[in-house]
Amino acid sequence: MKRVLPPNVSAAQFKDALADFAKAIGSDWVLSSDEDIATYSDIYNPGPEEEWLPSAAVAPGSVEEVQEVVRIANKYKTPLWTVARGKNLGYGTAAPRLPGSIVLDMGRMKKIRMVDEELGYCVIEPGVSFFDLYEHLQKMGGKLMMSVPGNGWGSVMGNALDHGVGYTPYGLHASKICGMEVVMPDGGMLRTGMGAMEGNHAAHLFPFNYGPTWDQMFTQSNLGIVCSMGLWLMPTPDSSLQLTIDIPKAEDIGWVIDTLTPLKVSGLIDQNVFIPSWLGKISVIGTRKDFWDKPSAIPEWRVNELLKQYKLGYWQVSMRLYGEVDVVKAKAEVVKTAFRKQTDQPIDELWWHKGDPTNVMDTTLGVPTAVPLQMGAWVGGRSAHLGFSPVVPAQSSHVLGQLKRSQELYAKYDVDFYASFTIGGRFVNNINMLMFDRDKPKDVQNIKDLFDELIVVTKEAGYGEYRTHLNWMDEVAQTFDYGDNAMTRYNEIVKDALDPNGILSPGKQGVWPRAYRQFARR
C-alpha cells in the first residue's frame, strides 16, 4: 500500500504527531500500519483505491480525548477527516478528500446516552449504528420507531450529518437533529440550541437557538466534530398499511408524481415515498448476465420484453400510511381514489399492526438492514456504485425533464439505466445509480465521464446535487454559482475564521481552508 503524509508535514514531524496522539489516546488507537491505511480507503472509489488515502487514523474514546486530538493536530498541522462509522459507501466511505489527512474515527464512542419514550427522542454518540439503536429501542419495548437508510450498517449520526435520507415520516434525518455537543476546531466545546444553557431541560426539544441557530452548520460540514446529538424519533404507530402499485411505462412517473405530491404536501402521506425503476426489481430475480449477455446497455426492446415476461412495471410505487387503524383506512381511501383516476393497475394492500413481526428489511417501518449492499451483484465482479443525486421540484414537468436528461446520457455512455425518485416534500431526490466492476478500468472511466457530464447538463437545466462522492465535491460546489460563487466564498470566510489552521476535513463538500486551498479543483 502506498503511503502519503499530510501536505507540508515531514516524516519526522508526522512521527512526532503520532507519538503525541498515542500519549493522548493510547497507542492501540493510533492506527498507522499499511493494513490500517487500507481499511480506511474508499473501496467503492471509481478509480484506484489509492486515490484518497489517509496517512493514519486515530480513534478517541471520549469527548476529552477528541479535544486533545484536535489540539495535537493543530500543533503539527495534520488535518483530520472526521467520520462516525465511516460506512459512506458510494460517497467516499471513510476516506478523506485531501490525501494524507488523518481519519478521525469516532466509532469507539458508541453510547446511547438517553432515550425519552414520552417525548420521542434520543441522545447518541457517533459510533451508534442503526442496528445498535434499533436493538436498544426494541429491548425497551419498541415504543419508538427509527428512520433508516438503505444501508443500515452505518452510523445514525453520520448519516444524519451527511443529509442522509430514510423512508418513514422522519426520513429527512438532518431535520430531526436537535441539540448537539460539538468540539470546535480549536479544541473548545460548544453546545447548540437550548443546550447552550448549562443544565437546560429543553436541550433536545426546541429546534432553535436563542439567537442564530447553528445545528445545521455542522451538517455536511468541516466546522466541528459532533460528539453527541439529540435526534427525534417517531412513536411507533398503532398500525400501518402499505399500498403497492406497479406503474407500466417510464413516462408514467409524471402523473405518479402529480398524484402523490398534493397528498404529501397536505400531510396526508407523511413518509418519504421511494419509487425505484425496473432494474431494482429485475435484480431480485437474477444478475445482469441472466437477462442480457452483451456488455452494451440493455436495449429498450429487451427491457420491454423482460417487463412483460416477469409481469413488472417500469416503476413500482410503495406508499405507507401510519396511525390508528381508522385513520389509516380513511387515508387509504383518499390515496386509492387519487390513483384510480389515473390507472386500473391493481393496488396491493399489506397491513401491519403494532406487535406484528416486521419484514426483515422493511426500511419503511424503520427496520435496519445491510441487504441492499448486495446490489452490486448485478454487474458482477468486485462491484461498487455511485449515485448521481439531483434534487428537483415534485412536479411532473421537472421530474420528466430530469428523467429524459439522465436517460439520454446513460444511453450516450451505453450504461444500464437505474433511477429512483424519492418524494421528500415539495421536492424529489432523484438517485441515478451507476454500478461498475472495480476491476474494469475502461468501464470505470466511462462511468466517471458520464458522471462529469450529468453534473454539467443537470446544472445547465437548473438543478443541483444534494450530496456527492469525494471525486466531485469541488465540481458540485462550483455548480452553486449564484453571485460568482458567493456561497463558496462565504463558506471559506467562516472556515478560515473558525479553523485558521484548516485542521478539520479540508475539502469536505468543496469547502477549502486557506492552508489547503491550492488543492481545490476549480
Partner 1 sequence: MKTPLLFGFMLAVSSLGAAAENSGMPPLPPHQMRLEVPDGDRTQSPASGEQLFSNACGYCHLTFGMGTNVLMGRRMAMGLPPQTALLANRTDLTADYIAMVVRSGQGDMPRITRVDLTDSELALVAEYLTRNNP
Ligand X SMILES: Cc1cc2nc3c(=O)[nH]c(=O)nc-3n(C[C@H](O)[C@H](O)[C@H](O)COP(=O)(O)OP(=O)(O)OC[C@H]3O[C@@H](n4cnc5c(N)ncnc54)[C@H](O)[C@@H]3O)c2cc1C
Rounded to whole angstroms, the Cα distance separating 99 from 506 reads: 10
Q: Does the footprint of ligand X cover residue 161 (CB under 6 A)?
A: yes
Q: Does the footprint of partner 1 cover residue 107 (CB under 8 A)?
A: yes
- Is 463 annotated as catalytic? no
C-alpha 52 chain-centroid distance: 19
Among the listed residues 150, 254, 276, 368, the single contact to ligand X using CB under 6 A? 150
DSSP string, 325-371: HHHHHHHHHHHHHHHHTT-----EEEEEETTSPPPTT-GGGT----G
Buried/exposed 482-514: b ≥16 CB within 10 Å, e otherwise: eeebeebeebbeebbebbebbbbbbbbbbbbbe
DSSP string, 67-122: HHHHHHHHHHT--EEEESS---TTTTTT--SSTTPEEEE-TT---EEEEETTTTEE
- Is 467 annotated as catalytic? yes
Rounded to whole angstroms, the Cα distance separating 64 from 106 reads: 13
Partners of residue 90 on adjacent β-strands: none
Cell 508526522 sits on residue: 14
Nearest Cα to Cα of residue 473 among 410, 386, 402 = 386
3-class secondary-structure state, position 395 = coil
User: Judged by CB under 8 A, which stretch of 372-380, 387-395, 462-470, 509-517 contacts partner 1?
Assistant: 372-380
Q: How far is the CB of 144 from partner 1 (least distance, A)?
A: 14
Q: Which of the following is catalytic: 91, 314, 322, 516?
A: 91
Q: Does the footprint of ligand X cover residue 476 (CB under 6 A)?
A: no
Give how far Cα 287 sits from Cα of 236, 281, 291, 444, Å: 36, 11, 7, 19
Whose Cβ is closer to ligand X: residue 82's or residue 236's? Answer: 82
Q: Does the footprint of ligand X cover residue 335 (CB under 6 A)?
A: no
Amino acid identity, position 259: T
Q: What is the DSSP letter of 214?
A: -
Q: Do 241 and 141 touch, CB atoms closer than 8 A?
A: no
Q: Does the footprint of ligand X cover residue 84 (CB under 6 A)?
A: yes
User: Judged by CB under 8 A, which stretch of 87-95, 399-407, 474-482, 508-516 contacts partner 1?
Assistant: 87-95
User: Judged by CB under 6 A, which stretch of 154-162, 291-299, 309-317, 354-362 contacts ligand X?
Assistant: 154-162
Site string for partner 1, 478-507 (x = CB under 8 A): ------------------------------
Q: Does the footprint of ligand X cover residue 162 (CB under 6 A)?
A: yes
Q: Do 387 and 47 touch, CB atoms closer than 8 A?
A: no
Partners of residue 229 on adjacent β-strands: 124, 180
User: Judged by CB under 6 A, which stretch of 83-91, 136-144, 336-344, 478-486 contacts ligand X?
Assistant: 83-91
Size of the site for ligand X (CB under 6 A): 30
Site string for ligand X, 404-423 (x = CB under 6 A): --------------------
Q: Does the footprint of partner 1 cover residue 362 (CB under 8 A)?
A: yes
Site string for partner 1, 406-435 (x = CB under 8 A): --------------x---------------
User: Judged by CB under 8 A, which stretch of 330-338, 368-376, 461-469, 490-498 contacts partner 1?
Assistant: 368-376
Q: Does the footprint of ligand X cover residue 88 (CB under 6 A)?
A: yes
Rounded to whole angstroms, the Cα distance separating 189 from 400 reads: 47
Cell 492501540 sits on residue: 28
User: Judged by CB under 8 A, which stretch of 262-270, 364-372, 408-416, 468-476 contacts partner 1?
Assistant: 364-372
Q: Does the footprint of partner 1 cover residue 112 (CB under 8 A)?
A: no
Q: How far is the CB of 159 from partner 1 (least distance, A)?
A: 15
> Could you tell me whether strands 177-183 and 225-232 are parallel, antiparallel, or unpaired per DSSP bridges?
antiparallel
Site string for partner 1, 149-178 (x = CB under 8 A): -x-xx-------------------------
Residues marked as catalytic: 91, 466-467
Question: Which positions lie near partner 1, rule CB under 8 A?
Answer: 26, 28-29, 31, 35-36, 38-41, 43, 57, 59, 85-86, 89, 93-94, 105, 107-108, 129, 131, 134-135, 138, 141-142, 150, 152-153, 242, 244, 274, 276, 279-284, 316, 318, 348, 350, 355-364, 367-378, 382-383, 420
Q: Which residues here bind ligand X, judged by CB under 6 A?
A: 82-90, 106, 126, 149-151, 154-155, 157-159, 161-162, 164-165, 218, 225-226, 372-373, 375, 508
